A and B are shown apart, each in its own frame.
Chain A
Amino acid sequence: AQSVAQPEDQVNVAEGNPLTVKCTYSVSGNPYLFWYVQYPNRGLQFLLKYITGDNLVKGSYGFEAEFNKSQTSFHLKKPSALVSDSALYFCAVRGSNQAGTALIFGKGTTLSVSS
């Protein structure tokens, strides 16, 4: 069965500091991995994805994520956090051999960036 774990309910960082939001996954076959951000009362906004290729993926708004197969992780990172990055972040996964299935989401991590 597919699953995604986001071990932290909340991450607090000061503006200008680097941030990391953790994600680990379990999936059969090769993983398709995604990060989404959600602002209050809004839908999901796509940040980045890993399908194949380079393990370091760069996405929107200066975010990046590194795929680590041995650790089954796909942590989201940003070198310098902004107050406007404060939001709810979701990691999601689907197996490459499960073309018809939906993305499975982690429970979400609330990022709070203080000024």
Chain B
Amino acid sequence: GAVVSQHPSWVICKSGTSVKIECRSLDFQATTMFWYRQFPKKSLMLMATSNEGSKATYEQGVEKDKFLINHASLTLSTLTVTSAHPEDSSFYICSARGTKYNEQFFGPGTRLTVL
């Protein structure tokens, strides 16, 4: 149980385009989802916290207009990188936590490369 999926697993896009990444909790309802960003061989940096049906809370320094997060249902959250630039290239990992768990379950990550 407690499986989290991400789609796509990798994506390459041109500079200036927008990219949407989906995060799904497959066998539980996730009231809270988190989005992290990871640079090569570096730690996970929390970008934002989203609760179902409400606006995401962004960490300091994260541009909310650039990284749009939507948590429209208890099993789906999306991260849209708008007008992507090469510096947005990174590994994006989502995490979900349900009501009965103390731990977060992580998706497999999405590798974004912006050319």
Interface residues of A (CB under 8 A from B): 32, 34, 36, 41-44, 46, 49, 51, 88, 90, 100-108, 110
Contact = CB atoms under 8 A, between A and B. Distances in A.
Nearest to B94: A43
> Which of B34, B103, B109 counts the most A-chain CB atoms under 10 A from its CB?
B103
The SS class assigned to the B binding surface is strand
Contact of A104 (B41, B46, B102, B107): B46
Contacts of B43: 90, 105-108
B67 interface: no
Interface residues of B, number: 23
Which 6 residue pairs of A and B lie closest in terms of their CB atoms, listed nearest first? Answer: A43-B108, A44-B106, A43-B109, A102-B34, A107-B43, A105-B44
B93 interface: yes
A42 B108 contact: yes
A70 to B, nearest CB: 23
A36 B106 contact: yes
A43 B111 contact: no
Contact of A102 (B6, B41, B104, B108): B104
B54 to A, nearest CB: 11
A105 B17 CA distance: 31
Nearest to B108: A43
> Which of B43, B91, B105, B107 counts the most A-chain CB atoms under 10 A from its CB?
B43
20 contacts: A32-B102, A36-B106, A41-B111, A43-B93, A43-B107, A43-B108, A43-B109, A44-B106, A46-B105, A49-B102, A51-B102, A88-B41, A90-B44, A101-B49, A102-B34, A102-B36, A102-B95, A103-B34, A103-B104, A106-B43
